[in-house]
Amino acid sequence: MAKTSMKKMLEAGVHFGHRSRFWHPKMDQYIYGTRNGVHIINLEKTLPMFNDVLNFASKTAAAGGSILFVGTKRAASDIMKEEAIRCGMPYVNHRWLGGMMTNYKTIKASIKRLKDLEFLAEENFSQFGKKEALMMTREMDKLERSLGGIKDLGGIPDVVFIIDIGHEKNAIAESKKLGLPIIGIVDTNHNPEGIDYVVPGNDDSIRAIGYYAREIANAVLEAKAAAGTHTKTAVKKKAPAKKVEAPAATETKAKVEKKVEAKVEAPKAEAATTDLNGMLKAELVALAKEKGVEIASKDTKADIIAKLG
């Protein structure tokens, strides 16, 4: 069970709210007082709420779910990316594109384009002219900034974790539309309504943002490790003994031998295909020349593998 402490929160400056003249009345219940014109957040309320968030993140990760880390403002951008990568979760740290979740079909097409450009970049766009290669490189960099964090997501995330709910209004609107649980860091100048898991705290300090992201990433990693251990144990206990099929009485010796050969050849064919998929396009072209297989200049990697297969 993931837990944090009030000492860590104080060290990270989680208790420092926004300036008192910009406060939101619905955050009144989480405010302890005012000091030097700045609201102080009551950590006695923040601590149990953040522990609930950590437990929820652990359960999501243990069940194989995904948590989308969203933080596009300057203070959060690099931190969210680093922590999301560390715990193997998707992230958005540059700009939230309109319809990123509600219009996922279009986003999926852009992700496919990004992966195609990355494949061509493996050979430094050698089959294109200098100007075309430069334009493709720029396009790839642009797509990587916007979609690089979700290119391996494969669909809609299970949970959305947001830093600064006032800055990420589009992400919140789309999450609500799809009914996704939202974990939100809410400062004293924002309205906490509509956020499923509210964490009252400082959303401007780099130290505080790093604390939230790090704690959630740690909870995810611990849950994944525990889930992996349980799975391995269960497999060892429940794995049934392999049964050897006896040949039918009516089958001839020749038929039985053919079946055995087929079973042996199948894994070899699969291994060969896997090896080809791991090769670069240039290596596949060279292999095709050795085998005397004709390759057209327009053939993709998949086409070459099919011809070699």
pLDDT exceeds 90 at position 35: yes
Q: Assess whether pLDDT exceeds 60 at residue 303.
A: yes
Return the SS3 of 160.
Answer: strand
Q: 230: pLDDT confidence band, cut at 50, 70 and 90?
A: low
Q: Which two tokens stand for residue 118?
A: 């990355």
Interior/surface letters 182-216, b for 16+ CB within 10 angstroms, e for the rest: bbbbbbbbbebeebebbbbbbbbeeebbbbbbbbb
Non-local CB neighbours of 13 within 8 Å, separated by 6+ positions: 202, 205, 207, 208
| Angle 196-201-205 from CA coordinates, rounded to 5° | 130
Give the whole-angstrom CA distance, residue 100 versus residue 168: 13
Q: Kindly report the average pLDDT of the chain as a whole number.
A: 84
Average pLDDT over residues 284-298: 75
The answer on pLDDT for 282 being more than 80 is: no
Question: Beta strands of the chain (E only): which ranges?
Answer: 16-19, 31-35, 38-41, 67-70, 91-92, 159-163, 182-186, 197-200
pLDDT tens string 135-149: 989 999 999 999 999
Better-predicted residue by pLDDT, 56 or 241: 56
Residues in Cβ contact with 228 at an 8 Å cutoff, skipping those fewer than 6 apart: none
Please, are residues 47 and 177 in contact by the beta-carbon 8 Å criterion?
no
pLDDT, position 262: 53
Q: How far is CA 52 from CA 22, 32, 49, 205, 249, in A?
A: 28, 21, 5, 22, 63
pLDDT for residue 245: 52
Q: Report in angstroms the alpha-carbon separations of 8 from 11, 13, 183, 198, 208.
A: 5, 9, 20, 19, 10
Residue 36: what pLDDT?
A: 92
Give the pLDDT score at 250.
46
Q: Is the pLDDT assigned to residue 258 strictly greater than 70?
A: no
What's the pLDDT band for 239 if we cut at 50, 70, 90? Answer: low
Asked whether residue 257 carries a pLDDT value surpassing 60, the answer given is no
Q: What pLDDT, on a 0 to 100 scale, did the predictor assign at position 98?
A: 87
pLDDT band with cut points at 50, 70 and 90 for residue 227: confident
List the alpha helices (DSSP H) in 148-252.
Answer: 169-178, 206-238
Q: Given pLDDT bands bounded at 50, 70 and 90, which one contains residue 278?
A: low
What does the pLDDT read at residue 24?
Answer: 93
